[in-house]
Amino acid sequence: MTNTLKVTIKLFAAYQEAYGKSELALEFPQNTPVAAVRDRLISEHPQLSQWRDVTRFGVNLQFVEPDTLLQDGDEVVLIPPVSGG
């Protein structure tokens, strides 16, 4: 059994703009909360820090709380506020 898990991160809005792509595949240690995904992306692209407190989280097509633990193979969505018409 491995001590890491692989997740797919779907990027939208500011996150997608920062990375220039719509999806990432990343590894995290076991028992990692979904908020750690956001924190890792912000550490790699500090300009995203303005979205830290307003980003919502989705795992496998369901909204979840920031402390929800990731499972191997999860699909994570980070949803910053968006506006438009």
Could you tell me which of 68, 70, 83, 74 has the C-alpha nearest to residue 12? 83
What tokens appear for 30 in the block? 């076991």
- Token pair 């790699």 in the structure block, residue: 44
Count CB-CB contacts under 10 A for residue 82. Answer: 8
CA atoms within 13 A on the CB side of 44: 12
Q: What is the pLDDT along the chain (85 residues), one digit of tens a residue?
A: 569 999 999 999 999 999 999 999 999 999 999 999 999 999 999 999 999 999 999 999 999 999 999 999 999 999 888 765 4
pTM across the whole model: 0.90
- For 74, counting Cβ atoms within 10 Å of its Cβ (0-12 exposed, 13-18 middle, 19+ buried), the class is buried
